[in-house]
Amino acid sequence: MASATDTAELPVVAAAATLPTDDPHPETDGHRWGMVIDADKCTGCQACVVACQSENNLALNEENRVIERRAKTWIRIERYWEGEWPNAKARFLPVLCQHCGNAPCETVCPVWATYHNPDGLNVQVYNRCIGTRFCANACPYSVRYFNFWEPEWPSPMDRQLNPDVTVRTKGIVEKCTFCIHRINRTKRQADRDGRPVADGEVEPACVQACPTTALVFGDLNDSDSKVSELSHSKRAYSLLDSLGTAPAITYLKKVDPSHVGEEEAGH
Amino acid sequence: MQEPVTVDRETANRELLDFVFAWPKWFFATTGLLGAVITLGLIIFLLLMIFGLQLFGYAHPVYWGFPVVNFVFWIGVSHAGIMVSAILRLAQAEWRRPVTRAAEVLTIFSLMTAMTFPIIHSGRPWRTLYWEFPYDWMRGIWPNPRSPLVWDPAAIFTYLTSTVMFVYIALLPDLALARDRVKNPIGKAVYGVLSLGFRGTTRQWRIQAIAGILLSALILPIFVSVHSIVSWDFAVTIIPGWHNTVFAPYFVIGAVHSGVSAVVTVMIVMRYAFGLKNFITKDHIDSLARLLIIVATVWLFFFMLDFMFGLYGTEPAEVDTWQRRLMEPPWTAIAIIFIITGYIIPVGLWLFRRVRRNFFLMFVTTVLVNIGMWLERYMIVIPGLERKSNLTFQYGDYLPSAAEFGIIAAQLALVIAGFLVFSKLLPIMPAADIKEGQILRDEIKVGRARVPATMREA
C-alpha cells in the first residue's frame, strides 16, 4: 500500500508522526492531483502514448531516434513477462512522471526549473531550464526526457499542434505535466461558475484515450473521488516504493499467489 | 638523508629565471600544436551551440558522460595544489619547496578547465551562467540552494580565488627578482607593476611570510570541501552506485592521489624541458613517491569501503551495479585496468627505492595512475546511470562520441598550454622559497662544532 496516498485518512495521532513518505509539500490550493493505473486492465494498446504525443506537441519518434534511445515518450508502456514459458503472461506497465511528493529531481535542479506546485504537481519551467540533465539522471523512473533537437513536424502535421502547450526548444528537459493545461482550464471554468472542480472533470489526454479505463485521474485530497477510492484498493502499490519518493500515481495489480516471492524487486 | 641543493645564489637566480627570459624553439612548436587542439575544441563547442547535445553520446537514460567524468578528474588533479603547498608547508616538509608553485599553477589551470565542462555539457550553455549565479535581485529569482550544482560553483570559485591569492603572494619576491633582471623595458614595467613594489625589506618579507602561512591554514577547509562537494553531485541522488555516504572522503583522497601523481609527472617534464636538473632532484621525486604510497593505499581502502558498503546494504540495485562494474564486460576490463594502473603497478614499483629515484619510471607510473584514476571516475559515473532501477525497459548503454573525445583532448591541451604559458611569462620555480630553504640549511663553525646558521622561528 502506498503510504503517500493514505495520509488523507490517517487518524490525527498517526498523522503527527511524519512518515518518511509523507508528502512534504502541504498543498495550499486544496488539490492534490493523482492517478491510479490498473495494470490488470492495461492491454498495452499504446493509445495513451499516441494521445499524449499529439496532445503535448511531442515530435515524431522516428525509427532511428528510437534506436538511438533519444525518442521522447512522456508516457510509455513497459512490457514485462510474468511466469515461465509456457505459462508466461505479458504484463503492461504504463510509466509516466510519478509527480513524487519527495521528488528526487526537484532537489537537484540548480535553477528551480522543476519544483512542486501548490496542486501537488511536479512541474517543469522550460524557460528556466539550462539543460544540466541532473533531474533526468536523478529520476529513478527515467521519465524525464532531454530535447536533443529542435522539434520538427513534417507538413501537414505541423498544423495540428496544440496551442495550449509550449513547443519546447532543444537543450532542455521535459516530462509529463499531467496535462496541466487541461487542469488549469477546468479550474478556471469552475472558478467562473463558482463551484468546485467535480471529480472526473479533469482528464489528461492519456486517461481520456484509455479504452479499458485502466487510467483514472483525480484529486487525491477529495476522499470521495474515484482515484482516492481506488488508491486504497488492496491491489494498490507504488512504483519503486522502497525509494520513498511518495509518488502521486498508484498502480493496481492483483498479486498472483503462485508468484509471490518470485520477483521481490519488481516494484 | 637529503643532499642539499648545492648551487650558489647567483646561479640559482639565473637558472630559475632562465626559461622566463629565453625563447626556445620547442616552446613555439608546442604551444602551436596545443593551440591547434584547443581550436579544435572551440570548433566543437561552436558546433554544440548550433546543433545541441546530439553531438555527444548521451541517450536515455544516461544523460551524463565524458564531460562529467572529466570534470571530476580535473577537479581531482587540482587537489595537488593544496596538498603540496599548504599541507606540506604547515608540516614543514622541506622537500616541498621546488614543487609548490608547479602544483599550485597546475591547480589553477586544471580548475579553470574543469569549470568549462559544466558549461560545455549543459543543454543551453548561454543560459548557464545567467541562471546559475544569483545576480538578478530584482525579480527574486534565485538558484536552488538544495542542488549540488549550486554548491559546486561556490566551492570551486572559493578554491580558485584562494589558490590565485596563494600563488600570487608566493610569487611576489620572484616577480621582484624578475623585475630586477629583465632587460626588456616592457617586461620591466609589467613585472614592476605585478611585484607591487616588493623590495625585500624586512617588513615586506614578514608580511609576505605571514600571509603565506595564514593562507595555508585558511585554505585547508577547502581541501576537504571542494572534492566532497563534487562527490555530493553524485552522493545526494538515489542512483545506485552514486548514493553512497563514503563518497566525500573517497573522492578527496582519490583527488590527492591523482593530483600528486600529476605533479610528479609535471615536475619530471619540467626538469628536462626547463633545464632544472639542479633543483628538481631524485630526493624530491622520492619524497613525493613515498607520500603517494600512503595516499594510494588509503585511497584503495576507501575504494574497498565503497564496495563493501555497496554490498553491505544489500540493496538490489546497488549490488547489481557493483556486479556490473566488476563482472560484466566491458566494465570488467575497465575495472581491471583501473585497479592495475591506479594501484598495483605504481605502488608495487614505488616500494623500491631504485624506482622512486628513477625519473623515467616515475614518469611512467604517475601517468599510469592518472589513467587509472580517470577510469575510476568513469566507472563511478556511468554504470549506475545505465541501470538506474528495476525498470528494465529503461536500461541503456553509453557510448561516447567523437565530439566528446575531441573536447577532452582540447581540455588536456588547455591545461598543458596554460601551464606552459604561465611558466614562460612568470617564474614557475619559487626562487625565493628555494633560496630560503638553502639558507635554513647553512651552517657556521663555532669553535669546532658546526651549527645551523639560522634558527626557525617557532
Is the CB of residue B374 less than 8 Å from the CB of residue B361?
no
Confidence of residue B7 (pLDDT cuts 50, 70, 90): low
* Residue range B364-375, pLDDT digits in tens: 999 999 999 999
- Asked if the Cβ–Cβ distance from A171 to B123 is below 8 Å, we say yes
Q: Could you tell me how far CA B439 lies from the centroid of its own chain?
A: 30
| pLDDT of res. A16 | 37
Give me the number of domains chain B comprises: 1
Specify if B4 maps to a domain: no
- Asked if the Cβ–Cβ distance from B54 to A78 is below 8 Å, we say no
* Residue range B164-180, pLDDT digits in tens: 998 898 888 888 888 88
| Residues 138-177, chain A, touching B (beta carbon < 8 A) | 138, 140-142, 145-150, 170-173
- Compare CB distances from B144 to A71, A110, A170 and report the shortest one's residue: A110
Measured CA to CA, the distance from residue B291 to residue B88 in angstroms comes to 10
Confidence of residue A52 (pLDDT cuts 50, 70, 90): very high
- B126, B131, B232, B382: best to mutate for the A interface, most A CBs within 10 A: B131
- Asked if the Cβ–Cβ distance from A133 to B150 is below 8 Å, we say no
Q: Is A62 on the interface with B (CB under 8 A)?
A: no
Specify if B3 maps to a domain: no
Query: CA A26 → CA A8, A120, A121, A219, B257, distances in Å?
Result: 12, 8, 12, 14, 47
- Asked if the Cβ–Cβ distance from B124 to A172 is below 8 Å, we say yes
Specify if B392 maps to a domain: yes
Query: CA B438 → CA A17, B4, B9, B95, distances in Å?
Result: 68, 7, 9, 11
The residue with greater pLDDT, B205 or A15, is: B205
pTM of the model: 0.88
Q: What pairs with residue A38 in β-bridges?
A: A252
Q: Which residues of chain B have a CB within 8 Å of the CB of A124? A: none
Count of CB pairs separated by less than 8 Å, A with B:
138
- Asked if the Cβ–Cβ distance from A133 to B127 is below 8 Å, we say no
SS3 B340: helix
Confidence of residue A95 (pLDDT cuts 50, 70, 90): very high
Q: Does B63 score more than 70 pLDDT? A: yes
Q: Share the mean pLDDT of chain B.
A: 85
Measured between its terminal Cα atoms, the distance across chain B in Å is: 23
Measured CA to CA, the distance from residue B429 to residue B89 in angstroms comes to 16
Our CA-based measurement puts residue B66 at a distance from the nearest CA of chain A, in whole angstroms, of 14
Is the CB of residue B290 less than 8 Å from the CB of residue B344?
no
| pLDDT of res. A27 | 47
Q: Range of B88's domain? A: 9-455
Our CA-based measurement puts residue A160 at a distance from the nearest CA of chain B, in whole angstroms, of 26
- Asked if the Cβ–Cβ distance from B389 to A140 is below 8 Å, we say yes
Specify if B383 maps to a domain: yes
| pLDDT of res. B184 | 82
Specify if B1 maps to a domain: no
Cell 534506436 belongs to residue:
A67
Q: Is A53 on the interface with B (CB under 8 A)?
A: no
Nearest-CA residue of chain A relative to B57?
A68
Q: Which residues of chain A have a CB within 8 Å of the CB of B393? A: 76, 78-80, 95
Q: Which residues of chain B have a CB within 8 Å of the CB of A73? A: none
Buried b (16+ CB within 10 A) or exposed e, B72-105: bbbbbbbbbbbbbbbbbbeeeeebbbbbbbbbbb
Phi, psi of A202 (to 5 degrees): -95, 130
Nearest-CA residue of chain B relative to A264?
B316
Confidence of residue B86 (pLDDT cuts 50, 70, 90): confident
| pLDDT of res. B134 | 61
Q: Which residues of chain A have a CB within 8 Å of the CB of B131? A: 110-111, 128, 130
Q: Does B33 score more than 90 pLDDT? A: yes
Specify if B80 maps to a domain: yes
Measured CA to CA, the distance from residue B74 to residue B110 in angstroms comes to 5
Confidence of residue B79 (pLDDT cuts 50, 70, 90): confident
| pLDDT of res. B451 | 74
| pLDDT of res. A178 | 93
Nearest-CA residue of chain A relative to B126?
A130
Parallel/antiparallel/unpaired status of strands A33-38 and A249-252: parallel
Confidence of residue B455 (pLDDT cuts 50, 70, 90): low
- A74, A75, A116, A130: best to mutate for the B interface, most B CBs within 10 A: A130
> Shortest CA distance to B308 belongs to which of B298, B316, B318?
B318
Q: Does B265 score more than 80 pLDDT? A: yes
Q: Is B127 on the interface with A (CB under 8 A)?
A: yes
- Asked if the Cβ–Cβ distance from A131 to B53 is below 8 Å, we say yes
| pLDDT of res. A259 | 61
Nearest-CA residue of chain A relative to B119?
A132
| pLDDT of res. A261 | 55
Interface ipTM: 0.86
Q: Which residues of chain B have a CB within 8 Å of the CB of A173? A: 123
Q: How many alpha carbons fall within 13 Å on the CB side of residue A85? A: 0
* Residue range B210-263, pLDDT digits in tens: 998 888 888 888 888 888 999 999 999 988 889 888 999 999 999 999 998 998
Q: Share the mean pLDDT of chain A.
A: 83
Q: Is A81 on the interface with B (CB under 8 A)?
A: no
* Residue range A20-43, pLDDT digits in tens: 344 544 545 578 899 999 999 999
Measured CA to CA, the distance from residue B228 to residue A24 in angstroms comes to 27
Q: Does B416 score more than 70 pLDDT? A: yes
Q: Does A97 score more than 90 pLDDT? A: yes
| pLDDT of res. B10 | 74
| Residues 190-229, chain A, touching B (beta carbon < 8 A) | none
Q: What pairs with residue A95 in β-bridges?
A: A76
| pLDDT of res. B296 | 93
| pLDDT of res. B192 | 87
Q: Does B132 score more than 70 pLDDT? A: no
- Asked if the Cβ–Cβ distance from B238 to A140 is below 8 Å, we say yes
> Shortest CA distance to B239 belongs to which of A124, A134, A98?
A134
Q: What does B377-389 look like in DSSP terms, one character per residue?
A: HHHHHHHHHHT-S
Measured CA to CA, the distance from residue A163 to residue A55 in angstroms comes to 10
For A74-127, list the strands marked E by DSSP: 76-82, 89-95, 114-116, 122-124
Lowest mean pLDDT among A4-8, A170-174, B227-231, B390-394: A4-8
- Asked if the Cβ–Cβ distance from A170 to B123 is below 8 Å, we say yes
Residues A214-223, mean pLDDT to the nearest whole number: 90
Confidence of residue B425 (pLDDT cuts 50, 70, 90): confident
Residues A70-90, mean pLDDT to the nearest whole number: 88
Lowest mean pLDDT among A21-30, A250-259, B38-47, B362-371: A21-30
Q: Does B384 score more than 90 pLDDT? A: no
Q: Does B398 score more than 80 pLDDT? A: yes
| pLDDT of res. B433 | 75
- Asked if the Cβ–Cβ distance from A266 to B390 is below 8 Å, we say yes
Specify if B387 maps to a domain: yes
Q: Which residues of chain B have a CB within 8 Å of the CB of A145? A: 60
For chain A, list the strands marked E by DSSP: 33-38, 76-82, 89-95, 114-116, 122-124, 145-146, 173-174, 215-219, 236-237, 249-252
Confidence of residue B190 (pLDDT cuts 50, 70, 90): confident
Specify if B290 maps to a domain: yes
| pLDDT of res. A7 | 43
| Residues 374-393, chain B, touching A (beta carbon < 8 A) | 385, 388-393
Q: Is B187 on the interface with A (CB under 8 A)?
A: no
Measured CA to CA, the distance from residue B5 to residue B209 in angstroms comes to 22
Residues A241-259, mean pLDDT to the nearest whole number: 84
What count of residues does chain B have?
458
Q: What is the CATH number of the domain that holds B421?
A: 1.20.1630.10
| pLDDT of res. A11 | 38
- B122, B136, B230: best to mutate for the A interface, most A CBs within 10 A: B122
Q: What angle do CA A97, A99, A103 make, to 5 degrees?
A: 105
Q: Is B54 on the interface with A (CB under 8 A)?
A: yes
| Residues 87-116, chain B, touching A (beta carbon < 8 A) | none
- Compare CB distances from A111 to B52, B61, B144 and report the shortest one's residue: B144
Report which residue type is found at B212: G
SS3 B438: helix
- Asked if the Cβ–Cβ distance from A108 to B236 is below 8 Å, we say yes
* Residue range B444-454, pLDDT digits in tens: 777 777 777 66
- A79, A137, A172: best to mutate for the B interface, most B CBs within 10 A: A137
| pLDDT of res. A267 | 45
